[in-house]
Structure 1
Amino acid sequence: MPTDKTPSTNAALNLPKIVPVCPVRGSVIYPTMVQHIDASRSISINAIEAAMNAEKVILIVSQKDKDVDDPKGADLYDTGTACNVLRVRKNPDGTVQMLVSAVARVKVGKYTEGDYLRASITELPIPADDPVQLQALSRELRERFEVIANNGKISSESVQTINGKDDVGEMADHIAFNLDFKLEDKQALLEAVRLTDRIRMLLTLLDTEQEVQAVQAKIRAQVKDEIDKNQREYYLREQMKVIQKELQGGEDGEEGDEAEQFRTKIDALELKPDVKKEIDREVNRLARMHPDAAEASVIRTYLTWVTELPWNTRSEDRLDVEEASQVLDEDHYGLEKVKDRVLEFLAVRRLRKERAERGELSAEDVNKGPILVFTGPPGVGKTSIAQSIAKALGRQYVRIALGGARDESDIRGHRRTYIGAMPGRLIQGLRTAGTKNPVILLDEVDKLGSSYQGDPSAALLEVLDPAQNQNFTDHYLGVAFDLSEVMFIATANYPEQIPAALMDRMEVIDFSSYIEQEKLEIAKRYLMPRQLTQNGLKPNQISFTDAALERLISHYTREAGVRNLEREIGTVARKVARRIATGDVKRVKVTDKELERYLGQARHTPETENREDMVGVSTGMFYTPVGGDILFVETSIMPGKGLVLTGQLGDVMKESARAALTYIKSNAERFHIDRARIEDSEIHVHVPAGAIPKEGPSAGGAMVTSLISALTGIPARHDVAMTGEMTLTGRYLPIGGLKEKVLGARRAGIKHIIMPKANEPDLRDIPTHLRSSVRFHPAETVDQVLDVALVGGLKALETPRGNEAATPPAKRRAARRGPGASA
């Protein structure tokens, strides 16, 4: 074994001073090796041709970055291997295969660029080593290599070649070439000219390789003990588990493409640390599973949902108040309260954003949205105005129909343990919207049901609480999602059916019925153009007179909104379209007299006032979800005993009649009514339209007026209608639905309306032109009601009378006077 080498020179090896350079990628060639090199780049092919045309000497040097296709001098190491070119063969595809014999380590002085690289080289001298130290290192190297060779990492031919080397330097170079070391380590071994230093470096690398092989052997042993040899798929899964266990605390191993794709998407979402930790745990589970496992499919679906949710994606609010007002006015007529509330929201949001830009408010304070609930009868625009609000704000719009929902999972989703589990409708809606601040309409929230599967209205308590919904947790997601930036709008026909706790979290905006004038404007601006388009008509082919539309509204529809009105307009349009299509006419003008031709007889005849004052007949007012109207209360006195109530009256209305009779009995002397006559008479109170159920306390005034009129013989005025609740002590209490009741009374021709004085603020909701055509009489007591409702007022009651009920009508009419004073 040689222990000392005399430094050689370029002249001794006959090496030229300047040689062509062939860059190689990912490998290093050591002296004494014979190796094939495949060249496909022009820079390498040109260098080979230059070497063959000269002294057949070429420099093989490694690239620092193997991805560089056109390397320059700076991209190459400054130590390489000088080689003799033994043979060159050109392939049909234009590539060149070269067989070289490496002869020496050389130091590059300077690279020269051109069609190929050239370099000035100097052979590296090999210094002498301590013979004893070299012998010890060579023995250790052979022993280490024997252990590595037994693990099968090197082919048997290569092992035999290496073991046959007498020169320890050649042996070290061949070991470095055949083992899978990093390029940087192989290059360092090439640059180590002192043999002892080279062997020490190699021993360190062999120790590392031996440890890696030991871990691999341990993994194989653990997997082999845990699995059945016949279950190949199970084997692969368990092997991956053990690998992950061994790597715990260090760097993660390479994962499948699918898990890596999910990880990349999740990193881009910029999630909160606690949320990201939970989702990363699911990604790691997926990476450890076989792709065909049943659980893998569940996790894959879950991660797809998570990565498609808008965790931090927002739409920019359009904060131009004037532009938003124009959008709302274009889409809807009337609804001033709703429009004002939306514009107020925009104004507040704009001011808060300006303060946030100055650093006076946090982003959380700016982004919080209100919780609104629109209440009112069907067809008045609750659902459609929500869409216009989203349009005005520049936000996405999502409608969630809650009518009939009976399962809590509709709101909170299913847990992932169930087959076919899905997130709740809120999370589904957010994925559809693609932003975390859309306008979400919770339609028909008053029609939520409950069952053994839970109460969805209770699940909404967290959703609609601005103090809690920033941490809303869907059962399927299992992590908190921020809903505080969503603008929630709920709709309901009957707000009393909404649980009190849920109602307390929302701001109520009431939608009242449309009056005839509003319906007329809506029909002309929106309904007619839409129906003409849907039925293929042009504006010049059909027209409606205002009188025709007014009759259509009052005699063919009976509703609070305009849905049926649009259907009737559509019916007329279709019949006109048929006449035009058959050539019967070219254009049609629909008048009120021609409506019967298209729609048949009128379906509704509004109640009208009595033509004359009558004893025992008073006029009340009532409210329904489709609008207000008047009703008559008739009282008849006959021999007998007791109080008879007919007309399908509800319990509250029956109690109003009994309370009115008790009030009359307690004030009989003041009203000059014989109490014995009351006790000896059967008093029959009837409310016509007996097929229609009637309920409510607001008929108290009409009840007491009708009873007193029948018992005293004083007629009730036919042009006066009243609404209000009475007490046994004679107080007149407030009621609801005044606007609708007044509209119904005005439609019936009533000119005087008695109302509780406490309801005077509600008069502001009534259009000015209607207030000016009706005289209102606010009342606080029943006496004030009677003073207006009876012919002659209270003076007629205070005057002693005989049996005035038998007074001929002609004499009673002569006793009438004008309206009583306003109370």
Structure 2
Amino acid sequence: MDTFSRILPLLPLRGMVIFPGMVMNLDIARARSLNAVNAAMRHGKKILIVSQIKSETEEPELANLYRVGVVAEIRQMLKLPGGAVRILVEGLFRASADRVSEDAEGGWAASFTELSARTLPEEGLELETLRRMVISEFEKWVLLGKKISPEVLLSFKDNPDAGVVADTIAGYLDVNLKTKQLLLETVSVKSRLEKLYEILHKEMTISELEKDIAQKVHQNIEQNQKEYYLREQIKVISQELGDAEDVHAEAEEYREKIKALPLPDEVLKGLNKEVDRLFKMPPMMAESAVIRNYLDTVLDLPWGKYDKNGFDINKAARILDKHHYGLKKVKERILEHLAVQKLAKTNKAPILCLVGPPGVGKTSMAVSIAEAINRKFTRVSLGGVRDEAEIRGHRRTYIGAMPGRIIHGMQKVGCLNPLFLLDEVDKMASDFRGDPASALLEALDPEQNHAFSDHFIEYPFDLSSVFWIVTANTSDTIPPALLDRLEVIELSSYTEDEKLNIARLHLLPKEMEANGLTRETLSITSGAIRKIIRDYTREAGVRRLERQIAKLCRKVAYRIVTAKETDAKVTVKNLTDYLGPCIYLESDMRAREEVGIVTGLAWTSVGGELLKVEVLAAEGKGGMTLTGQLGDVMKESARAGYTYIRSRYKELGLKEDFYDKTDIHIHLPEGAIPKDGPSAGITMVTAMVSALTGRVVKADLAMTGEITLSGKVLPVGGIKEKMLAAHRYGVKTVLLPERNMQDLAELPQKVREDIHFVPVTHMDEVLKLALKP
């Protein structure tokens, strides 16, 4: 190998390799490269060109340069706008950069060693063979459609110098920089031709594959163009017929939506079948609208979509306490559920049934629970629902068919794990259209609701991750099969103290904000709030209390706007100025010592209530009259009690034939309200004995209990609600069955302190305690 040393300016190139014999235009813009070009123009127009290892580097270091390059001659130089230049260079020979240094102008200069190969005489025949093989392979490669003119071959095909042929072909190849640099660094002509043949053979294989793929793509494109042309023809025909709707494009849109959803195989197959029907169906057919409605509904469901609902149990407890005062039992149950979820890592949610009178916060509690556990909330009201299709949906064969309320709720909420509230479940009814309560069984059964079947959807839908909450005013009217699937949590009536705190913490701030009032413009004392509770509302919940507070705020706002006052301080003394006369007077709430009038305790759908039983005994023929909308059970209790009185006439001081000469009239006021149940049994007997004997009933006393013919007092239900009602009305003593004493543990401490509870087992005890001698 002949070598000689020189020093030339060094020019780094990005993304290309120049071979000896190549003539190429180069645009130079980097400052270091411009300095190298200027230096070369001053010293013989020779320059050493090497390639960068990493083409993306803007300002390369010496470590980022290949050491083998080409010495080239600058034939022309043209200045471009912006300070850049364009040079025409011709590669002369290979060279290796030995030592690189920076010159005075900021460019690079390098000493180099020329790299030239010697060919031995015995290699001549072998080189000629390789030369012809490489030219032949390159000619095939060009004919495969490369953007190289076949006339290029004429410029070097007959050149006997195998090295020149190899470098010329290498310059035309569309291979990566690393491969071209490898060819440049291969000094031996034989090795260079072998590598070049190997590269050409590989490129030929790739080119043939590209050609085959291109032909297949071209055929597919032709088929697609043919289908497109036919579809356009159908579209034009449809437009001419007055139907401009493109059913086929719509079908393709449906297919894309189906493909994008994580649908079960059964659903996927069925929906694609429906799309095929729509595709083949004439647009004017009525059934196409049915199919569209069906597809839109099914595809709008949250298939496979779960909302992230991470929660912090302490934060959840704070949210529940913030939004609701009291309701300790409900909050404890929710927090227990969250604790179980945290430990068990399960999505299986319970089905809670919040049972309580109106206004105690059942629905708002469900909203607070959703916020506490970070779940989306959706609600369906079932009050008055009597059609099974409201729950399960209609069959698609009916005109106007639609999915049931549960599927509609899931569609609206957009995820598979929301908190779903079924409100007023006790107010559903059944008739010839089916039993909606029975339709709920599948949705609320943890063993079945992973595959809930809606008649409209027709495919199983997973409801197992839904957190169900059901509300009802009473559990008595919920069908037993449905009630068996629910975990009932009782929400009892509020005490006066609880209502006071709810008013101060929640209702008053809410209404003041709604009516544009502030603490500076309105202040209300605790005594005034208590008076509103006692004299203006009689309820288990706080709805009437909220309405009275809203009325008070409106009155204050009106007075401020009309400049009658700048602020208002509401007290017990001036409360009537804002709310008017008291609705419920103190005398109505407290019983007086009277003959034949006894206060009973009853449970209603709106909570516990006091029940006044009035009995009048008059001369007659032994008849019994019952008025006041009494039910069958209550009438039977009255007759059983009267029989007990007849059996005890001697002990009670009555004449033996009193029942033949005395008429009994039992009346319960508020006759427009139906009343039924055995709880007033001892109350009616006490009132009848008082009327027959003329003995006075003690004041501030109430009672509840069922009576038998022998005079035994049996336990009754709704004790907590009844005792809260007694406390609300200021009753001081309550007689109740002995077996109901255990139910008093659920009462608030203040109620147990304010009321004297007397257990009784027999009617004789009741009469002794209730009647004065």
TM exceeding 0.5? yes
Say if 2:335 is the partner of 1:335: no
Counterpart pick for 1:152 among 145, 149, 156: 145
Q: 1:481 to 1:749 in 2, by over 3 A?
A: closer
| Letter of the 2:758 counterpart | H
Counterpart of 1:231 in 2: which secondary structure?
helix
Query: Per-residue displacement from partner, 1:256-312 (whole Å, max 9, x unpaired)?
Result: xxxxxxxxxx9xxxxxxx98999xx9xxx9xxxxxxxxx9xx99x99999999655x
Q: 1:188 to 1:545 in 2, by over 3 A?
A: closer
1: distance between equivalents of 2:181 and 2:463? 55
1: distance between equivalents of 2:680 and 2:471? 30
For the Cα contact (< 8 Å) 2:449–2:462, is it kept in 1?
A: no
Counterpart pick for 1:743 among 711, 714, 724: 724
For the Cα contact (< 8 Å) 1:446–1:497, is it kept in 2?
A: no
2: distance between equivalents of 1:403 and 1:764? 34
| Letter of the 2:490 counterpart | D
| Letter of the 1:72 counterpart | E
Say if 2:734 is the partner of 1:734: no
Q: Which residue of 1 aligns with 2:129?
A: 136
Q: Which residue of 1 aligns with 2:703?
A: 722
Report matched runs for 1:628-667 at 5 Å. 628-635=608-615, 644-657=625-638, 659-660=640-641
Q: Which residue of 1 aligns with 2:225?
A: 231
Q: Which residue of 2 aligns with 1:399?
A: 377
For the Cα contact (< 8 Å) 1:572–1:599, is it kept in 2?
A: yes
For the Cα contact (< 8 Å) 2:595–2:691, is it kept in 1?
A: no
Q: Which residue of 2 aligns with 1:71?
A: 60
Query: Per-residue displacement from partner, 1:183-235 (whole Å, max 9, x unpaired)?
Result: 22222222222233323323333333333333333334334445546828969
For the Cα contact (< 8 Å) 1:89–1:96, is it kept in 2?
A: yes
Q: Which residue of 1 aligns with 2:282?
A: none
2: distance between equivalents of 1:407 and 1:159? 80
Q: 1:491 to 1:200 in 2, by over 3 A?
A: farther
| Letter of the 1:231 counterpart | Q
Provide the aligned length of Structure 1 versus Structure 2.
688
| Letter of the 2:64 counterpart | D
Report matched runs for 1:117-196 at 5 Å. 117-128=108-119, 130-156=123-149, 159-160=152-153, 164=157, 166=159, 167-196=161-190
For the Cα contact (< 8 Å) 1:446–1:495, is it kept in 2?
A: no
Q: Which residue of 2 aligns with 1:764?
A: 745
Q: Which residue of 1 aligns with 2:78?
A: 89
Say if 2:98 is the partner of 1:109: yes
For the Cα contact (< 8 Å) 1:619–1:722, is it kept in 2?
A: yes
Query: Per-residue displacement from partner, 1:335-385 (whole Å, max 9, x unpaired)?
Result: 344455677788x68xx99xxxxxxxxx75599988765443333344555
Q: Which residue of 2 aligns with 1:699?
A: 680
For the Cα contact (< 8 Å) 1:64–1:77, is it kept in 2?
A: yes
2: distance between equivalents of 1:683 and 1:28? 122
Report matched runs for 1:314-393 at 5 Å. 314=310, 317=312, 319=314, 332-338=324-330, 365=345, 374-382=354-362, 384=364
| Letter of the 1:40 counterpart | A
2: distance between equivalents of 1:423 and 1:111? 77
2: distance between equivalents of 1:453 and 1:116? 93
Say if 2:518 is the partner of 1:527: no
Counterpart pick for 1:612 among 593, 599, 604: 593
Q: 1:621 to 1:146 in 2, by over 3 A?
A: same
Q: Which residue of 2 aligns with 1:249?
A: none
Q: 1:512 to 1:230 in 2, by over 3 A?
A: closer
2: distance between equivalents of 1:648 and 1:589? 45
Q: Which residue of 2 aligns with 1:598?
A: 578
Counterpart of 1:776 in 2: which secondary structure?
strand
1:102 deviates by 0.8
Query: Per-residue displacement from partner, 1:380-409 (whole Å, max 9, x unpaired)?
Result: 344555676788x7x646432232594579
Counterpart of 2:717 in 1: which secondary structure?
coil
Counterpart pick for 1:25 among 14, 17, 27: 14
Say if 2:423 is the partner of 1:444: yes
2: distance between equivalents of 1:98 and 1:482? 74
Identical-pair percentage: 38
2: distance between equivalents of 1:229 and 1:573? 76
Q: Which residue of 1 aligns with 2:286?
A: none
| Letter of the 2:62 counterpart | G
Q: 1:604 to 1:162 in 2, by over 3 A?
A: farther
Counterpart of 2:679 in 1: which secondary structure?
coil
| Letter of the 2:423 counterpart | E
1: distance between equivalents of 2:154 and 2:557? 99
Stretch deviating more after TM superposition (637-646 or 120-129): 637-646
1:101 deviates by 0.5
| Letter of the 1:511 counterpart | L
Q: Which residue of 1 aligns with 2:281?
A: none
* TM-score normalised to structure 1 length: 0.69
Taking only aligned residues, the RMSD between alpha carbons, in angstroms, comes to 5.1
1: distance between equivalents of 2:460 and 2:150? 59
Q: Flag structure 2 segments of 5+ consecutive residues without an equivalent.
A: 230-259, 273-291, 394-401
Say if 2:228 is the partner of 1:218: no
Counterpart of 1:539 in 2: which secondary structure?
coil
Counterpart of 2:544 in 1: which secondary structure?
helix
For the Cα contact (< 8 Å) 1:612–1:718, is it kept in 2?
A: yes
Counterpart of 1:204 in 2: which secondary structure?
helix
1:594 deviates by 4.1
1:766 deviates by 3.3
Q: Flag structure 1 segments of 5+ consecutive residues without an equivalent.
A: 1-6, 236-265, 267-273, 286-294, 354-362, 410-417, 792-815, 818-823
Q: 1:397 to 1:672 in 2, by over 3 A?
A: same
| Letter of the 1:444 counterpart | D
Q: 1:732 to 1:210 in 2, by over 3 A?
A: farther
1: distance between equivalents of 2:83 and 2:143? 41
1:668 deviates by 7.7
1:691 deviates by 0.6
